[in-house]
Structure 1
Amino acid sequence: MDCDVIIVGGGPVGLFLAAELGQRGISVEVFDCKPGTSTHPAANANSARTMEHFRRIGISSTVRSLGLPRDYAPDVAYFTSIVGHELARLSQPASRDAVEWAKAHSFTWATAEPPHRCSQLYVEPVLLNVARSNTTCRVHFSATVVEFSQNDEAVEVTVEMDATAARPAQTRTITARYLIGCDGPRSFVRKSLGVRYEGVAGEKREFMGGQMSAVYFYAPDIYRVSPHAPAWQYWTFGQKQRALIIAVDGQGHFIMNVQMRDDEVPDDESVRRRVAEAIGADIPFELKSSSTWTAGFTLVAEQFSVGRVFLAGDAAHLFTPTGGLGYNTGIEDAANLAWKLEAMIKGIAGEALAISYEAERRPAALRNTAFARGFADSIGHLQVPAETHVNGASGEAARAAVGDYLAFHATAEFVIPGVHLGTRYESSPLVEAEPGPQSPDTANLYVPSARPGHRAPHAWLADGASLYDRFGAGFTLLCTGSAGASAEGQCEGPLHRAKVTLPDLTVVHIDDVHIAELYKAAFVLIRPDQHVAWRGDVLNTSFESAALRAVGRAPEGIASSTDVAYPSAA
Structure 2
Amino acid sequence: MVDCDVVIVGGGPVGLFLAAELGQRGISTEVFDAKSGTSTHPAANANSARTMEHFRRIGISERVRALGLPSDYAPDIAYFTSIAGHELARLHQPASRDAVEWAKAHSFTWATPEPPHRCSQLYVEPVLLEAARNNALCRVHFDARVVEFSQGYDSVTATVELAATPERDAETRTLKARYLIGCDGPRSFVRKSLGVRYEGVSGEKREFMGGQMDAVYFYAPDIYTVSPHAPAWQYWTFSARQRALIIAVDGKGHFIMNVQMREDELPDEDSVRRRIAEAIGADIPFELKSGSTWTAGFTLVAEKFAAGRVFLAGDAAHLFTPTGGLGYNTGIDDAANLAWKLEAMVKGFAGAELGASYEAERRPAALRNTAFARGFADSIGHLQVPAEAYADGSPGNAAREAVGDYLKFHATAEFVIPGVHLGTRYETSPLVEAEAGAGSPDTANLYVPCARAGHRAPHAWLADGGSLYDRLGSGFTLLCTAPAGIDASHDEALQRAAATLTQLAIVHISEAAVADLYKAHFVLIRPDQHVAWRGNALNSEFDAAVRRAIGHVSGTDSAACPSMAMAL
TM interval, shorter chain, is: over 0.9
Q: Which residue of structure 2 aligns with residue 406 of structure 1?
A: 407
Contact 2:344 2:502 in 1 (8 A): no
- Separation in 2, partners of 1:105, 1:2: 49
**CA-to-partner distance for each residue in 1:307-338, whole Å, 9 max, x for gaps?**
00000000000000000000000000000000
Q: Which residue of structure 2 aligns with residue 336 of structure 1?
A: 337
Q: Does 1:553 align with 2:552?
A: yes
Q: Does 1:457 align with 2:458?
A: yes
- Separation in 2, partners of 1:421, 1:483: 31
Report the CA distance shift for 1:155/1:249 in structure 2 as closer, same or farther (over 3 A).
Answer: same
How many Å apart are 1:494 and its aligned residue?
1.4
Report the CA distance shift for 1:557/1:436 in structure 2 as closer, same or farther (over 3 A).
Answer: farther
Give the aligned residue type for 1:168.
D
**CA-to-partner distance for each residue in 1:486-535, whole Å, 9 max, x for gaps?**
2xx45732121011111410000001000000000000000000000000
* Count of residue pairs the alignment pairs up: 556
Q: Which residue of structure 1 aligns with residue 519 of structure 2?
A: 520
Contact 2:69 2:251 in 1 (8 A): yes
SS at match of 1:484: coil
- Separation in 1, partners of 2:426, 2:215: 36
- Separation in 2, partners of 1:490, 1:214: 63
- Separation in 2, partners of 1:450, 1:246: 37
1:1-400 mapped onto 2 (5 Å cutoff)? 1-400=2-401
- Separation in 2, partners of 1:128, 1:302: 30
- Separation in 1, partners of 2:303, 2:486: 47
- Separation in 2, partners of 1:556, 1:157: 35
Q: Which residue of structure 2 aligns with residue 565 of structure 1?
A: none
Contact 1:490 1:496 in 2 (8 A): no
SS at match of 2:34: coil
Give the aligned residue type for 1:497.
R
Report the CA distance shift for 1:522/1:483 in structure 2 as closer, same or farther (over 3 A).
Answer: farther
- Separation in 2, partners of 1:213, 1:426: 40
SS at match of 2:499: helix
Contact 2:49 2:117 in 1 (8 A): yes
**CA-to-partner distance for each residue in 1:521-555, whole Å, 9 max, x for gaps?**
00000000000000000100110110000000025
Q: Structure 1: 5+ residue runs without aligned partners? A: 559-570
Q: Structure 2: 5+ residue runs without aligned partners? A: 558-568
SS at match of 1:157: strand
So what's the TM-score if we normalise by structure 2? 0.97
SS at match of 1:171: strand
SS at match of 2:491: coil
| Deviating more after overlay: 547-556 vs 41-50 | 547-556
How many Å apart are 1:282 and its aligned residue?
1.7
Runs of 4+ in 1 over 6 A off after TM superposition: none
How many Å apart are 1:235 and its aligned residue?
0.1
**CA-to-partner distance for each residue in 1:166-185, whole Å, 9 max, x for gaps?**
11000000100000000000
Contact 2:248 2:254 in 1 (8 A): yes
Give the aligned residue type for 2:383.
L
- Separation in 1, partners of 2:490, 2:137: 34
Contact 1:70 1:94 in 2 (8 A): yes
Give the aligned residue type for 1:178.
Y
SS at match of 1:452: coil
How many Å apart are 1:426 and its aligned residue?
0.2
SS at match of 1:501: coil
Give the aligned residue type for 1:498.
A
Q: Percent identity?
A: 79
**CA-to-partner distance for each residue in 1:222-269, whole Å, 9 max, x for gaps?**
001000000000000001000000000000000000000112111111
Q: Which residue of structure 1 aligns with residue 560 of structure 2?
A: none
Contact 2:472 2:507 in 1 (8 A): yes
- Separation in 1, partners of 2:396, 2:331: 43
Q: Which residue of structure 2 aligns with residue 567 of structure 1?
A: none
Q: Which residue of structure 1 aligns with residue 563 of structure 2?
A: none
Contact 2:482 2:522 in 1 (8 A): no
SS at match of 1:493: helix
Give the aligned residue type for 1:471.
L
Report the CA distance shift for 1:505/1:555 in structure 2 as closer, same or farther (over 3 A).
Answer: farther
So what's the TM-score if we normalise by structure 1? 0.97
SS at match of 2:410: helix
Contact 1:545 1:555 in 2 (8 A): no
Give the aligned residue type for 2:555.
E
Contact 1:99 1:112 in 2 (8 A): yes
Contact 1:431 1:534 in 2 (8 A): yes
Contact 1:215 1:257 in 2 (8 A): yes
Q: Which residue of structure 1 aligns with residue 491 of structure 2?
A: 492
How many Å apart are 1:485 and its aligned residue?
3.6
Q: Which residue of structure 2 aligns with residue 566 of structure 1?
A: none
SS at match of 1:269: helix
RMSD: 0.9
Q: Does 1:538 align with 2:555?
A: no
SS at match of 1:538: coil
**CA-to-partner distance for each residue in 1:170-226, whole Å, 9 max, x for gaps?**
000010000000000000000000000000000000000000000000000000100
Contact 1:412 1:443 in 2 (8 A): yes
Contact 1:27 1:137 in 2 (8 A): yes
- Separation in 1, partners of 2:90, 2:316: 34
- Separation in 1, partners of 2:524, 2:216: 47
